[in-house]
Amino acid sequence: MDQDQALAAAVLRGEPGAFERLVQQHQRLVWHIVQRTVRHTEDTRDLCQETFLRVHTSLHQYRGESRLGTWIARVAYSLALRHLERRGNTATIEPPASDEADTPTQWEPATPTDAVEAQVATQQTQRALHNAIARLEPLPRLLLTLYHLEELAIGEIAQITHLPEGTIKSHLFRSRKQLRGLLEAWQGTRP
């Protein structure tokens, strides 16, 4: 918390390089929040920039009551949500890298050797998983990312999303179960 406040104070004083440091420290988190919500790379880049510009102009409002990352994440999340609302909640979902592995029945080993076969199977599994993650609703996808990749506590996620902790747990439980079920079904039907 102290480091956060020191960094915020340095930015407000106009210390050279301080704001750039702030951006570097939090750009990954902001990217994850926006990308998982809007699911469009170009829009995500613009919104990341907009988030940090907004942070720059309103940093004087940061009181140190939460981690600076949480405060910035709230800005990013609200901008991403507003963006979705403007687009009528129809985020342009970029197509996954490949849809061909989406259904287990389409899987076929590429070569007869065991090692290559295993590698192909892993790749196919990852692709199927990628497609499944892409098809999750934006909110559960974001919650999974914040919890497992950013390793934020449920309480912090609640601060960012303004959701009750029970709701967050519920989303996490259901989406993890859904992904696990997909993997089980997929691997169970593999040749």
Residue ranges that bind other proteins, judged by CB under 8 A: 17, 19-21, 23-24, 27-28, 31-32, 35-36, 39, 41, 44-45, 48-49, 52-53, 56-57, 125-126, 129-130, 132-134, 144-145, 148-149, 166, 169-170, 173-174, 176-177, 179-180, 183-184
Q: Name residue 73's amino acid.
A: A
Q: For residue 94, give the DSSP letter.
A: P
CB nearer to other proteins: pick between 128 and 160: 128
CB nearer to other proteins: pick between 56 and 82: 56
CB nearer to other proteins: pick between 2 and 151: 151
CB nearer to other proteins: pick between 83 and 112: 83
CB nearer to other proteins: pick between 65 and 146: 146
Residue 190: CB minimum distance to other proteins, A: 13
Residue 179: CB minimum distance to other proteins, A: 5
Measure Cα distances from 145 to 21, 28, 69, 190 in Å.
23, 11, 15, 28
Q: How far apart are CA 148 and CA 53, in angstroms?
A: 27
Residue 158: CB minimum distance to other proteins, A: 15
Q: Are 96 and 134 in contact (CB under 8 A)?
A: yes
Residue 57: CB minimum distance to other proteins, A: 8
Q: What SS3 class is residue 99?
A: coil
Cα torsion through 68, 71, 73, 74, rounded to 10: 180
Residue 109 main-chain phi, psi, to 5 deg: -65, 140
